[in-house]
Amino acid sequence: MDEILDEIQTWRARGDDVALATVVWTGGSTPRAIGAKMAVNARGEFVGSVSGGCVEGAVIDQARAVLKSGKPQLLNYGISDDMAWDVGLACGGSIQVFVEKI
């Protein structure tokens, strides 16, 4: 968490808006637990992880949208085991990620 906070402080010091994505629910097999965090700035830079890489790109895109709109979002990612590899959640689990501008 210290790494995330340090990076947020650096981004804020240079004037960047920052969104914070937090895993708020998990179901089945997931690579990260509830409370896992990722910070994203408007440039698309990020620190931390909410899924071990399998949906990071989608969360970054949504975080940038939250920065533009100012409206928080609750994102849902999950898939059945037989379709998991096609969409990126190869673990077959489900997660909910709350994204907010900070």
Pairing of strands 94-101, 37-41: unpaired
Domain count, the chain: 1
Residue 61 identity (one-letter amino acid)? D
Q: Is the pLDDT of residue 81 over 50?
A: no
- Residue 46 belongs to domain spanning: 2-101
pLDDT band at 86 (very low <50, low <70, confident <90, very high): low
- The secondary structure of 53-70 as a DSSP string is TSSHHHHHHHHHHHHHH-
The pLDDT assigned to 101 comes to: 97
Kindly tell me the burial class for residue 80, based on how many C-beta atoms sit within 10 Å of its own C-beta (0-12, 13-18, 19 or more). exposed
Q: What's this model's pTM, rounded to 2 decimal places?
A: 0.86
The pLDDT assigned to 83 comes to: 42
| Each residue's pLDDT tens digit, 28-80 | 888 889 999 999 999 999 999 998 777 999 999 999 999 999 999 999 998 55
Closest C-alpha among 71, 4, 77, 73 to residue 41: 4
